[in-house]
């Protein structure tokens, strides 16, 4: 019998991290992800793991770096302003190719912003975020179950590609309680001969991000990273579609926005309007070919976000001018509404109809 547990998204993610074998968790409290910190403080001892409430976000991310360099499965989590501070170590870990998982339970910005959920960190997450030429894998769940499932996958992806993996969810997902079936460990194991464990019976292992020789070392390292990112881009194509087969109007959204958009699709269909939803579950690499394919038979595309337009840029790049891309978003913790989405799509139907009449 499947056992459901009622859990907050944040707690589901924390428990999933433990299931995935995360034994080192370092963080600094910030709303709306505090449940992760408290859960880890309470439950890490159960698995003989390490929890430290760090002195700062920067220190927390650096502790992750230390444990990741030691070969352990390490994680930190925060919310938007805290993630900005963590960018320092994320860049270092991307450069030094250290696997780790970082969860951003986004809140409204810019600056201190607010504590309600938002999606204003899309650019930061998908473009690298810190300094230098790098990307991180960005997983985008839209419910507590996916927060748990994606977390388990995130640790494997991090180890497989030796890269930081970001779980990008918003405060609503983190705070909402939903029934969750806790995932099973994947059982995958990864050799880490590069870890710094003491140079016994082998040469030194050195984990660096300083490479001073521009042409023969640092450029080569960057090329190596780019090759890896290309491999990741070829391999990781994650998305879900909802009623897109015969859709005239395509919605694109992730996270909480996608849940709202899906509801709008159902309502529109009740009114005989053929709408569908494309939901990327990984934001970098972005499922661009798949979105273009999905959009190829649609008349127009509406991107819905809890921001003033970030993912919409990737959507436009994906369809590359093939169809018109419109945007609807609300930010600062406000949510897009089903009503507004329906009004937009109905307006398209109307203008399309008048356009046909005129020609």
Q: Which residues bind another protein (CB under 8 A)?
A: 23-24, 26, 50, 52, 54-56, 58-60, 62-72, 74, 88-89, 92, 96, 196-201, 204-210
Q: Tell me whether residue 59 or residue 323 sits nearer to another protein (CB atom).
A: 59
Q: Tell me whether residue 196 or residue 218 sits nearer to another protein (CB atom).
A: 196
Instruction: In angstroms, give the least distance from the CB of 134 to another protein.
Output: 14
Instruction: In angstroms, give the least distance from the CB of 29 to another protein.
Output: 15
Instruction: In angstroms, give the least distance from the CB of 58 to another protein.
Output: 6
Tokens read off for 302: 């509406």
Tokens read off for 128: 């690298």
Question: How far, rounded to the nearest angstrom, does the alpha carbon of residue 240 sit from its chain's CA centroid?
Answer: 15
Supply the DSSP string of 50-81, one letter for each residue. EEEE-SSHHHHHHHHHHHHHTT--EEEEE-HH
Q: What is the DSSP letter of 297?
A: T
Query: Is the bond into 135 cis (omega within 30 degrees of 0)?
Result: no
Helix (H) or strand (E) holding 164: strand 164-170
Distance CA 342, CA 209 (A): 50
Q: Tell me whether residue 196 or residue 323 sits nearer to another protein (CB atom).
A: 196
Q: Tell me whether residue 111 or residue 198 sits nearer to another protein (CB atom).
A: 198
Q: Tell me whether residue 55 or residue 324 sits nearer to another protein (CB atom).
A: 55
Q: Tell me whether residue 58 or residue 115 sits nearer to another protein (CB atom).
A: 58
Q: Tell me whether residue 207 or residue 298 sits nearer to another protein (CB atom).
A: 207
Q: What is the DSSP letter of 183?
A: P
Instruction: In angstroms, give the least distance from the CB of 324 to another protein.
Output: 44
φ, ψ at 207 (rounded to 5°):
-110, 110
φ, ψ at 86 (rounded to 5°):
-70, -10
Instruction: In angstroms, give the least distance from the CB of 155 to another protein.
Output: 15
Instruction: In angstroms, give the least distance from the CB of 23 to another protein.
Output: 8
Instruction: In angstroms, give the least distance from the CB of 68 to another protein.
Output: 7
Are 275 and 137 contacting, i.e. CB atoms less than 8 angstroms apart? no
Distance CA 316, CA 288 (A): 9
Tokens read off for 274: 């053929």
Q: What is the DSSP letter of 320?
A: T
């Amino acid at each position: 019998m499947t056992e459901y547990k009622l859990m907050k998204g944040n707690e589901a993610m924390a428990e999933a991290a433990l299931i995935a074998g995360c034994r080192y968790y370092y963080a600094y409290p910030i709303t709306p992800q505090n449940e992760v910190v408290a859960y880890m403080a309470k439950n890490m001892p159960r698995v003989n793991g390490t929890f430290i409430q760090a002195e700062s976000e920067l220190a927390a991310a650096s502790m992750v770096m230390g444990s990741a360099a030691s070969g352990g499965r390490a994680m930190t989590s925060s919310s938007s302003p805290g993630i900005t501070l963590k960018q320092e170590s994320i860049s270092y870990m991307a450069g030094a190719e250290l696997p780790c998982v970082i969860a951003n339970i986004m809140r409204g910005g810019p600056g201190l912003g607010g504590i309600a959920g938002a999606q204003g960190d899309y650019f930061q997450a998908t473009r690298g975020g810190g300094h230098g030429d790098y990307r991180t894998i960005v997983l985008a769940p839209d419910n507590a179950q996916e927060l748990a499932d994606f977390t388990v996958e995130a640790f494997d992806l991090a180890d497989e590609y030796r890269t930081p993996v970001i779980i990008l969810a918003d405060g609503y997902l983190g705070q909402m309680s939903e029934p969750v079936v806790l995932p099973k460990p994947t059982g995958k194991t990864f050799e880490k001969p590069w870890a710094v464990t003491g140079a016994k019976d082998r040469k030194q292992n050195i984990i660096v991000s300083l490479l001073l020789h521009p042409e023969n070392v640092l450029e080569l390292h960057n090329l190596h990273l780019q090759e890896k990112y290309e491999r990741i881009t070829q391999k990781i194509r994650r998305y879900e579609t909802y009623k897109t087969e015969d859709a005239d109007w395509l919605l694109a959204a992730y996270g909480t926005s996608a849940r709202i958009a899906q509801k709008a699709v159902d309502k529109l269909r009740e009114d005989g309007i053929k709408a569908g939803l494309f939901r990327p579950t990984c934001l970098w690499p972005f499922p661009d070919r798949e979105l273009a394919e999905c959009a190829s038979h649609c008349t127009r595309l509406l991107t819905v976000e809890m921001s003033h337009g970030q993912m919409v840029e990737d959507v436009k790049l994906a369809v590359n001018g093939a169809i018109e891309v419109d945007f609807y978003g609300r930010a600062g913790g406000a949510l897009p509404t089903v009503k507004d989405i329906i009004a937009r799509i109905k307006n398209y139907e109307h203008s399309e109809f008048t356009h046909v009449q005129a020609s």
